[in-house]
Structures are given as C-alpha cells and as structure tokens.
Amino acid sequence: MKDPITISITGAAGQIGYALLFRIASGAMFGVDQPVSLRLIEIEPGMKALAGVVMELDDCAFPLLHSIEATSDLNVGFTGANWALLVGSVPRGPGMERKDLLQVNGKIFTNQGQAIAANAANDIRTLVVGNPCNTNALIAMNNASGVPKERFFAMTRLDENRAKSQLAAKAGCHHSEVSNLCIWGNHSATQYPDFIHAKIKGQPVTNVISDGAWLEGEFISQVQQRGAAIIQARGASSAASAANGVVDTVRSLTTPTPKGDWTSVAVCSDGAYGIEKDLIASMPIRTEDGKSWDVVRDLEIDPFSQSKIDITVKELCEERAAVKDLIKVDS
Ligand code: NAX
C-alpha cells in the first residue's frame, strides 16, 4: 500500500464540500490504490455541521480513507498538505458590490496563503474554487511566500465540461467525443469558451457545427450563464458538478494529458498569448508527467477570439487592481 497523501479542504461542510469529500475518500481523485488523509477546515459556525459530515465519512468505512482531522485552525488544517482545495468563501450578500466581495474574500485568502506557506508539505499544490476564484488564487499565491507560483490554480474545469456538453448536444454526439476545449480568462460571465480550437471526433467544431451564429452567440452565453441557470432551476448553486470539476482538475494535473489534447485551468500567466504576466488566467495546459505542466503555446488566435480574450483579461486586471493592497504588486 502507498503512503497516504494529505488533502486539506476549506469550506468542507458546504454544498460542494458535501459532494466532494466522499469522492476523494472513495478514490475518484487520486486513484483506487492511493490512501488519503483529509484535513477539513471550516469557520467556527460550520464546525457542528462538519462534525456530522465526519460522522458520515466514518460510516462509509472507505478502505482508502486513512485519517480525518476537522478544524477551524488554519495552521492545523494545512499541516503536511500535499493538496489544498480552497472551496470555502463568503458569498455575495444583499447590497454587496463586487469590490466589497473581493476585499472580504481577499482577507480570507491572505491568511490561507500564509498558513499554506507555513505548514504544508514541500510539494503542495493549491486549487482555488471559492469565488472570485481567479483573484482569490492570486491573493493566496502572493501571500504564500516560498511556494512556487506554478503550484497555484483556479478552477475553470466545470466551465470546460459545460462547454463540451453544450457542443455535444448541438452536434448530436457524446461529450467524450469533444476535445481541445479551452476556457480563457476569468471564471465569470466574461470567460471565453474557445470553440475555434475545439474538436469533435478529431474534426474542428466549425466543420461539424455549421451554425456559426449559434457558436458565436448562444453557445458562448449559455456557458457563461450556466451557473445562473442552475441557481434558477435548482434554487441553489452548482454543487455536485462543481465537485466533479474539482475531481477532474486534480486528476488532469496529476496524470499525463492525452496526446494532442489539453485541459483548462487558471494558472499564473508568464505572458503567454499576451495575457498580462502574473495574472491567474485560464488557458490551455498540458502535463506530460502529472507533476509539472506547461501552457500549450502554439495556438493561432483569430480576431474574434482575441476580442473575447481581451474582455476577460481586462476584467482580471480590474479585479487585481481592486485588491492591490493584498498582493503587494503594482497594478
Ligand atoms: P456553501 O455556502 O454551501 O459552502 C461554503 C462553506 O465555506 C460554508 O460551509 C462556510 O462555512 C465555509 N467557509 C466560509 N468561509 C470560510 C473560511 N474562511 N474558511 C473555511 N471555510 C469557510 O458554498 P458552496 O456551494 O459549497 O460553494 C463554495 C464556493 O464555490 C463559492 O464561493 C462558490 O461561488 C464557488 N463556486 C465555484 C465554482 C467554480 O467553477 N470555480 C463553481 C461552483 C461554485 O459556484
């Protein structure tokens, strides 16, 4: 049996946490031969519900679940973490502006970045899910002194999966036949689901779906607005599909990317595709060994795509400017 790996999860008693923990413990994230130790982090008011979640995890008697620690102390929560999944954040309240939300959450991710730097394992990788996830990841990264920037990610995989599903439905094929789908930019309503480079059964999407107006219009807005549509239908935001996006993201970063394909995740920009350096922006990435990753750098960007990428990158710059006091860089 392998040694257990340690996964710290914030917001563990929330909706996404409830859909996520059981899948990690069952082996869906790291494989069916990899034991896991869970460190579950909540704020004080969430600790009672978290105790109930821990009871349910116990009651599953998962063979791979090595240990569970439930805590509201960040230093305890991130001790020895190989992966930190930052799911918890404060939702936007009535009358709260985006700028207020950025500030409130910014403080949370400042503390979490510092606690990760002080307590996690040397190979720590951090995936931020809690919104606004790109900018929260930017703040955590800038406050995690000594942790390499390429170990910070923000989740856009749910958006990628949503886009694949929409394209498959339009083309009348199975979603597994859609590949090379990249989400660019921010996990927000400005994101750009890139259908130009996407493929269906190995063919360019634009050869398979002839309805260009749908691709340029309804397709993009449906992917951008999918979260809102789910809230309207379900009366609550995406949880199981978001948890599935977390599982898919971590699996994609820890296993080699299939030949010729790529995956979407927001990473620290090194200036690729003219995206401003050090923003956490979604782009196409590949990993050959399941450890290091690189941006797929040779895609030709047409003027339509460029105009969409410019919009979402501009929003990321604005978000960064709104939290510049928390990240100690000029913006
Ligand atoms: P819930 O409100 O159900 O759960 C959040 C949990 O986080 C609560 O239990 C709360 O007590 C806890 N929490 C709050 N502040 C915390 C802190 N400082 N430390 C530890 N725990 C803390 O929300 P849920 O539906 O689970 O969503 C969680 C986050 O995911 C939200 O910010 C949401 O907007 C975001 N999402 C991100 C997505 C993405 O693709 N990146 C998609 C789904 C989701 O909208």
Is the model's pLDDT at 303 over the cut of 90? yes
- Mutation probe of ligand 1 site: the residue of 161, 237, 241 with most atoms within 8 A of C-beta: 237
- Work out the widest C-alpha separation in the chain, in whole angstroms: 55
What b/e readout covers 250-282, taking b as 16+ CB neighbours within 10 angstroms? bbbbbeebeeeebbbbbbbbeebbebeebbbbb
Is the model's pLDDT at 270 over the cut of 80? yes
pLDDT in tens, 123-142: 999 999 999 999 999 999 99
Q: For residues 85 and 137, what is the distance between their CA atoms, to the nearest angstrom?
A: 11
Structural contact between residues 184 and 312, judged by C-beta atoms closer than 8 angstroms: yes
Q: What is the pTM of this model?
A: 0.97
Does ligand 1 come within 6 angstroms of the Cβ of 87? yes
How does residue 159 score in pLDDT terms, banded at 50, 70 and 90? very high
Ligand 1 atom with the smallest distance to the CA of 105 is 18
Nearest CA to 291 out of 151, 153, 183 is that of: 151
Q: Across the chain, what does the average pLDDT equal?
A: 96
On the 0-12 / 13-18 / 19+ scale of CB atoms within 10 A, 130 is buried
Q: For residues 100 and 91, what is the distance between their CA atoms, to the nearest angstrom?
A: 11
CA of 155 to the centre of ligand 1 (A): 13
Does ligand 1 come within 6 angstroms of the Cβ of 132? no
Task: Please give the average per-residue pLDDT across 53-70, as a whole number.
Answer: 98
Is the model's pLDDT at 329 over the cut of 90? no
Is the model's pLDDT at 94 over the cut of 90? no
Does ligand 1 come within 6 angstroms of the Cβ of 47? no
How does residue 331 score in pLDDT terms, banded at 50, 70 and 90? very low
CA of 10 to the centre of ligand 1 (A): 8
Of 94-108, 165-179, 270-284, minimum mean pLDDT range = 94-108
Query: What is each CA distance from 70 to 37, 114, 126, 133, in whole angstroms?
Result: 11, 19, 19, 23
Is the model's pLDDT at 316 over the cut of 50? yes
Q: Write the single-letter amino acid at 278.
A: D
Q: For residues 208 and 167, what is the distance between their CA atoms, to the nearest angstrom?
A: 10
For ligand 1, atom 34, the nearest C-alpha belongs to 131
Does ligand 1 come within 6 angstroms of the Cβ of 15? yes
Q: For residues 298 and 76, what is the distance between their CA atoms, to the nearest angstrom?
A: 43
Catalytic residues: 187
pLDDT in tens, 213-264: 999 999 999 999 999 999 999 999 999 999 999 999 999 999 999 999 999 9
pLDDT in tens, 9-24: 999 999 999 999 999 9
Does ligand 1 come within 6 angstroms of the Cβ of 173? no
Task: Please give the average per-residue pLDDT across 278-294, as a whole number.
Answer: 97
Residue with tokens 């689901």: 193
Question: From the CA atom positions of the chain, what is the Rg in Å?
Answer: 19
